[in-house]
Structure 1
């Protein structure tokens, strides 16, 4: 049976809308909890797919979260081996740093639903379902420099680097197309402090926007994920 390993940083940020896509393709999915499960003995190439999920910490906070070193070691080995790897939000930033790029505070939160501006590569690749401006969920305050050799796929008005591909086997998305409306109810609780501390942001506003956009975005997110799996022969 084909296997997927997802490294999770907080319990409520999981594969969500991507789960049925993997089930339909016959994948067995397992999660490891960063900071709790031991990543040092992990074989970086063992699983058919590695997904690094999101979380409310910075990739550069090594002193506070020593497991980041282990996670980056796994990623570097995985990428060097050319094995299919997907990063979402924090996972995108992890891939960027593993490839030698700088990750740093962006100076402004980008939280909420807004469309992407796709590059030619983005329009002609797995992100094509979002070429017509359907909003996606953004939830980050950090940003990153584009790694050497990577292809930028998407931007927003606040941050030019929102998605990139590295070769044919690695895809990094700083935004969320895997989140469902039901799943986001857990985020509204888990990220309550961040929501409350961000000017102009509230749970009611996020919930209203989620009701408007999440169903369509999740459906297109599944299309995007399936197209990328096809591209990497999974």
Structure 2
């Protein structure tokens, strides 16, 4: 019997799997990461993996002319969503999923940066997103998306939708469950100069917020992602879940 597999679509080495990695490995997943700006996505079979995780990035999901790899990723996500195979989208990943589901991603009027509270909807309280209730979660984005038809809205911020789902197989979050200390420190070092106009987003304020909120955010993230993965295992492949451990062996197209 082989282990379940996860394909991670990464757009920047500084925006990696982070806190989510241990949650996957604790459940036996073998993780493969593709750096999508340089990978040959035409060689990737979108259905060969038990789970696909699309991470964040500095690109906009609407910038496919400027970043052609995004168009190929959206095609991959569209094919996978049509087959109802498990997908987790984070930040840019959530925006690309919205586009794959027929909605619009766009640059919003508000730049959300830092550990910010979320309002969890009634639908959100019934599933894994409930773990972020009362826990400020890391945000770092200006872009947003229109909610696709047929999804359940799970959480919002003061300005934007923050989480949505379809059944147990698709989960998209605008906030960042993957952040750990190294990721947050790296973002502050690389990008704090871009958000000097955002209240509470000075380097000193972000570092203080990290000290206050990161441990709780990581715990909530582990619970959220872990419960989602466990739900996939229970639902089974016929309902868009993870197949038994012997079922997935493919990786790339031959």
When normalised by structure 2's length, the TM-score is: 0.87
Q: Distance in 1 between matches of 2:118 and 2:219?
A: 16
Q: Which residue does the alignment assign to 1:26?
A: 28
For residues 144-223 of structure 1, what are the structure 2 equivalents within 5 Å?
A: 144-159=145-160, 161-196=161-196, 198=198, 201-223=201-223
Unaligned runs of 5+ in 1: none
In the TM superposition, residue 190 of structure 1 has moved relative to its aligned partner by 2.9
In the TM superposition, residue 32 of structure 1 has moved relative to its aligned partner by 0.5
In the TM superposition, residue 134 of structure 1 has moved relative to its aligned partner by 1.1
Q: Which residue does the alignment assign to 2:142?
A: 141
Given the alignment of the two structures, is residue 38 of structure 1 paired with residue 21 of structure 2, yes or no? no
Q: How many residues align?
A: 232
When normalised by structure 1's length, the TM-score is: 0.95
Q: Distance in 2 between matches of 1:157 and 1:54?
A: 20
In the TM superposition, residue 199 of structure 1 has moved relative to its aligned partner by 6.3
Q: RMSD in angstroms over aligned alpha carbons?
A: 1.4
Q: Distance in 1 between matches of 2:202 and 2:38?
A: 31
In the TM superposition, residue 203 of structure 1 has moved relative to its aligned partner by 1.5
> Structure 1 residues 197 and 62 mapped into 2: Cα distance closer, same or farther (>3 Å)?
farther
In the TM superposition, residue 30 of structure 1 has moved relative to its aligned partner by 1.2
Q: Distance in 1 between matches of 2:39 and 2:190?
A: 21
For residues 93-112 of structure 1, what are the structure 2 equivalents within 5 Å?
A: 93-112=95-114
Q: Distance in 2 between matches of 1:15 and 1:190?
A: 18
